[in-house]
Amino acid sequence: MSESAKPRTAREIRSAARRDAIIDAALEEFSFQGFAAARLDDIAKRAGVAKGTIYLYFADKETLFKELVRAMLTPLIGQFEALAKTDIPFPLLAERLADVAAREVAGSRRRDIIRLIIAEGPRFPEIADFYYREILSRVFAALQTILTRAFERGEIRHRGLVDFPQLLVAPVLIAATWSSLFEKQAPLDIQALLKAHIDILLDRGSAS
Amino acid sequence: MSESAKPRTAREIRSAARRDAIIDAALEEFSFQGFAAARLDDIAKRAGVAKGTIYLYFADKETLFKELVRAMLTPLIGQFEALAKTDIPFPLLAERLADVAAREVAGSRRRDIIRLIIAEGPRFPEIADFYYREILSRVFAALQTILTRAFERGEIRHRGLVDFPQLLVAPVLIAATWSSLFEKQAPLDIQALLKAHIDILLDRGSAS
Amino acid sequence: MSESAKPRTAREIRSAARRDAIIDAALEEFSFQGFAAARLDDIAKRAGVAKGTIYLYFADKETLFKELVRAMLTPLIGQFEALAKTDIPFPLLAERLADVAAREVAGSRRRDIIRLIIAEGPRFPEIADFYYREILSRVFAALQTILTRAFERGEIRHRGLVDFPQLLVAPVLIAATWSSLFEKQAPLDIQALLKAHIDILLDRGSAS
Amino acid sequence: MSESAKPRTAREIRSAARRDAIIDAALEEFSFQGFAAARLDDIAKRAGVAKGTIYLYFADKETLFKELVRAMLTPLIGQFEALAKTDIPFPLLAERLADVAAREVAGSRRRDIIRLIIAEGPRFPEIADFYYREILSRVFAALQTILTRAFERGEIRHRGLVDFPQLLVAPVLIAATWSSLFEKQAPLDIQALLKAHIDILLDRGSAS
DNA sequence: GATGAATGAGGGTTCATTCAT
DNA sequence: TATGAATGAACCCTCATTCAT
């Protein structure tokens, strides 16, 4: 989870493990309670460390929050950009993207990060900034490449998708929030939802 | 804004106005700060009343929050269900819905309520419950009626949309959150986004 | 103790009384514990208020400390400058000053303030600044006037006293700190000490 | 700086050096911050040792503080008592004392110890006790011998000085605190101040 | 009803002290 | 011996809630 160079000594390994444990616990607490309501006491307890220990790894609550977001999102982007570079037919690519999205979204942790960013973004402009700069802008740049190519090849029929790649990912966002909030009331089959989405975009499997 | 029976006496009118002022102020503060970080002091100041006055209208902070969500959402639903009952062609209906959504979404207040529900839902299951029961389930029931009819009439070509009405509204959600978080970094033309969405669903304006 | 205009309404009177009670309690705690070791909890308890109440009157611990010093010292200076303006013979004036000093010094409160300034001055340059600007510089200006006049009249025989008025007040300082620290080990007769000091300066009562 | 028997082995020498380094660092930190506000972390850093190392040499923070005071003051007294035993004329002796005082006072370290004792005395009665017993009482005993002899020889004309040796040292105290607190606002010529003091006591250099 | 001073529990943060390495 | 990561008690400050006016 930590993006820095692999630690070598026993102490460094334990230290990195602790840092990760704190980040994990923080994700759990922050995403359930929100930033303000989460208590460092609870995070410490969940991470199995003393309250003061958190301050050996993070300057304060806010820094912990920002590091958490950074740690969760950074690994995503490389994986995604790699996928964008492959020159496979769009229908195949779309299905792979849907697969990854469904798994990443279903994996409760990443879904909660998305919720956290939506929830706390206005109060932490740096978070929104970071997220836009490091993640969104790169994701959308890659998407635009993919979609332009697909449109030129005739794999998709609508310019609108090229202009608004948001339309491609919108169902992922709704799936993430829906399953986060209404799982109890009305569970959602994310895989099927995304499949239907792709079918519509590719205009296949229609009608009868 | 208050949904209760119209007040009659001068005192009742003043009282209702105060209640509304508090709710308005609360929306402003809650949606920017989140529930936990918002301060009753600030809400009172913004509403132009003393801190203690809030307790004459709401039992406590949590109750104020729930009443706020209820007050903001309840008026929406009637308006929406009325629209669903009209038997106009789907393309026309879709455009009207997009129009309403764009305006309601652009109107910062409602967009912030959506963000609030996403943010605080997990900590206030009653809010999520209420929202699902009173709003979402009714919205989706209406949508299903509309979409089924449209599908049977051949106005839309994909069953998937009938099974997952979420796909119809997903762009509204992404427009709401995007404009709430990234207006500064990359403003979004919501009207154009929704128009492109409808064009894709109706398979019109495609290609060249 | 508060230097502001006399409060009039019942609430204002109670409010001013509370402020004074807090200042009194703070003096007690700060002068015994020092700034860092003093606990707001103890100050509140001693003042008979809740911890939070202190923050209604003072922005934080540091402000309370500064206000305390200001409140204790400000009333002193006027009284002293008035004395300096009277044109009585120096020997008489010196005795009156000694009297005031002995009483103010013996009055444990002022003596503790002096100790506090000595103790915390280096860490609170603003305190040292304020003390020098508002108190010391004015005291020494007045003293210089007094001593110059006395020297010209032949009431004192040494220029050195005019150049270093500190020599006039040095015994007051030592009396204050001595009685604050070593009362138990070796009580000091402050009145007699100051009388001996004046006798030396005036070169009277010498030898047998 | 350590008063214990000279260490012999290499290890003992290193150990004694460390102890001294810690004491030096502690003096610096304690005298600037006061006992409560000084941080062992900073002392360790300044001494160039790890935090835990301090506990190998001192039981706890309070013990370190007391040892520090003891270590700084003990060497003073021997030097002073030696001076008292010499049978030189009082005017000469007084000038030598003034010289020593000016140098010891100007040397920031000792001056800060004085400030520390004044500041922390009430909270550490043992410190005040120790200081009175080991230093003050012996200093004043020696002074009384000196002053009695000087008075009997006619070198000074006032009994008061014999009864209150404090009057002899008061200017040293004021010089120490003044230069510690108000160097910036109004620097003090300590040598000249003490010279003027002696001139007054010896009744020389008077008038024009 | 309306006010806002007062309360005090709660949480973020610091730091003396310990102890495994 | 020496280290410094880890601990957790303690303290400043905030803020939801109460209540006398």
Q: Report which DSSP code applies to C205.
A: S
Neighbours of D7 (CB within 10 A): 15
| Regions in chain A scoring below 50 on pLDDT | 1-3, 208
Place of tokens 């010209």: C152
Integer Rg of chain B from CA: 19
Quote the percentage of chain C above a pLDDT of 90.
Answer: 68
Residues 52-71 of C with CB under 7 A from strand F: 52, 55, 60-62
From CA B55, how far away is CA B73, in angstroms rounded? 23
| DSSP assigned state of A121 | G
**In sequence order, which residues have a C-beta less than 8 Å from that of residue D146 and are 6 or more positions away?**
D84, D90, D93
Does pLDDT of C2 surpass 50? Answer: no
Q: Which residue has the higher pLDDT, B166 or B5?
A: B166
Contact indicator for D175, D196 with CB cutoff of 8 Å: no
Contacts of B33 in chain A (CB under 8 A): 36, 123
Q: Is some CB atom of chain D closer than 8 A to the CB atom of C158?
A: yes
D118 at the C interface (CB within 8 A)?
Answer: yes
Distance CA B138, CA B130 (A): 12
What is the Cα–Cα distance from A149 to A137, expressed in whole angstroms? 18
In whole angstroms, how large is the CA radius of gyration of chain A?
Answer: 19
- Backbone angles phi and psi of C189, in degrees to 5: -85, 95
Element (H, E) at A33: helix A10-37
> CA-nearest residue of chain B to A173?
B174
pLDDT (mean) for B77-103: 88
Structure confidence by residue, pLDDT tens digits, D134-192: 899 999 999 999 999 999 999 998 999 999 999 999 999 999 999 989 999 999 999 99
Number of helices (H) and strands (E) in chain A: give both, helices first.
11, 0
Average pLDDT score over residue span B147-170: 94
- Distance between CA atoms of residues A118 and A112, nearest Å: 10
Cα separation, D183 vs B40, whole angstroms: 49
Contact at 8 Å (CB) between D146 and D192?
no
Q: Determine contact, residues A79/A69, Cβ cutoff 8 Å.
A: no
Provide the pLDDT for residue B74: 87
C166-181 and C108-120 helices cross at what angle (nearest 10)? Answer: 100
CA end-to-end span of chain B, whole Å?
47
- The pLDDT of residue B53 is 97
What count of other Cβ atoms lies within 10 Å of the Cβ of residue D124? 19
pLDDT of C153: 93
The pLDDT score that the predictor gives to residue A201 is 93
B112's CB contacts (< 8 A; 6+ apart) are B27, B31, B32, B180
- Whether pLDDT at B9 is above 90: no
Encode pLDDT of C135-186 as tens digits: 999 999 999 999 999 999 999 989 999 999 999 999 999 999 999 899 999 9
Q: Is A154 left (phi over 0), alpha (psi -120 to 50) or beta?
A: left
**Which nucleotide is closest to C54, CA to C1'?**
E6
DSSP track, D60-102: SHHHHHHHHHHHHHHHHHHHHHHHHHS---HHHHHHHHHHHHH
Determine contact, residues C151/C90, Cβ cutoff 8 Å.
Answer: no
The runs of H, that is alpha helices, within C38-157 are 40-47, 51-57, 61-85, 90-106, 108-120, 125-130, 137-152
Of A32, A202, A33, A167, nearest in space to A111 by CA? A32
Four-point Cα dihedral C45, C51, C55, C59, nearest 10 = 80
Residue nearest to nucleotide E14 (CA to C1'): A52
Q: Which of A32, A129, A136 minimises the CB distance to B123?
A: A32
Distance from residue A108's CA to nucleotide E21's C1', rounded to whole Å: 38
Q: What is the pLDDT of residue B73?
A: 87
Query: Quick one: pLDDT at residue D83?
Result: 80
How would residue D206 be classed by pLDDT, with cut points 50, 70 and 90? low
Closest Cα in chain A to B193: A164
Could you tell me the pLDDT band of residue B46, with boundaries at 50, 70 and 90?
very high
Burial class (CB in 10 A: 0-12, 13-18, 19+), B208: exposed
Tell me the pTM. Answer: 0.89
CB C180 within 8 A of CB D121: yes
A 34-53: CB under 8 A from B: 34-37
What number is the average pLDDT over the span B152-166?
A: 94
Predicted confidence (pLDDT) per residue in C113-136, tens digit:
889 999 999 889 989 999 999 899
D208 pLDDT tier (thresholds 50, 70, 90): very low
Query: At residue D65, does pLDDT exceed 70?
Result: yes
Nearest protein residue, CA measured to C1' of F10: C39
Q: Is the pLDDT of residue B102 over 60?
A: yes
| Mean pLDDT over the full length of chain B | 90
Tell me which DSSP letter residue C203 carries.
Answer: T
Tell me what pLDDT residue B120 has: 93
pLDDT of residue A142: 92
Q: Where are the alpha helices (DSSP H) in chain D?
A: 10-37, 40-47, 51-57, 61-85, 90-106, 108-120, 125-130, 137-153, 159-163, 166-181, 190-201
Residue B191, CB, strand E, below 7 Å: no
CA C24 vs CA A149, C6, C30: distances in Å: 78, 18, 10
Q: Considering only the beta carbons, identify the residue of D175, D182, D207 that sits closest to C157.
A: D207
Can you say how many angstroms the Cα of residue C42 is from the centroid of all Cα atoms in its chain? 24
In a 13 Å sphere around the CA of A35, the CA atoms on its Cβ side amount to 27
The pLDDT score that the predictor gives to residue D12 is 83
> What per-residue confidence (pLDDT) applies to A206?
60
CA distances from A112 to A32, A42, A181, B33, B86 (A): 8, 18, 10, 19, 39
Q: Please state, in angstroms and rounded to a whole number, the distance separating the CA atoms of residues C24 and B35.
A: 39
Tokens of C72: 């204790």
Q: For position A2, what pLDDT does the model report?
A: 45
Q: Does B105 have pLDDT greater than 90?
A: no
Residue A123 is given by DSSP the state: G
pLDDT at C208: 46
Q: What are phi and psi of C99, to 5 degrees?
A: -60, -50
What SS3 state is found at C31? Answer: helix
Higher pLDDT, D73 or A20: A20
Which of B 35-74 have CB under 7 A of nucleic chain F?
37-41, 51-52, 55, 60-62
Torsion of CA D7, D8, D14, D18, to 10 degrees: 0
Query: Is A119 in Cβ contact with B34 (below 8 Å)?
Result: yes
Q: How far is the CA of D59 from the C1' of E7 (A)?
A: 41
Query: Cα(A126)–Cα(A114) distance, rounded to whole angstroms?
Result: 15
The bases of strand F with some atom under 7 A from any protein CB are: 1-21
Q: Distance between CA atoms of B38 and B32, rounded to whole angstroms?
A: 8
Residue C4 has what pLDDT?
Answer: 52
The one-letter code for the residue type at C49 is: V
pLDDT, one tens digit per residue, over B181-200 is 999 999 999 999 999 999 99
Distance CA(B123)–CA(A112), nearest Å, equals: 13
Interface partners of D (3+ CB pairs, < 8 Å)?
Answer: C
pLDDT digits (tens, 9 = 90+) for B24-41: 999 999 998 999 999 999
Distance of alpha carbon A200 from alpha carbon B4, whole angstroms = 44
Higher pLDDT, D80 or C41: C41
Q: How far, in Å, is the CA of B43 from the C1' of nucleotide E6? A: 20
- Distance CA(D149)–CA(C129), nearest Å, equals 43
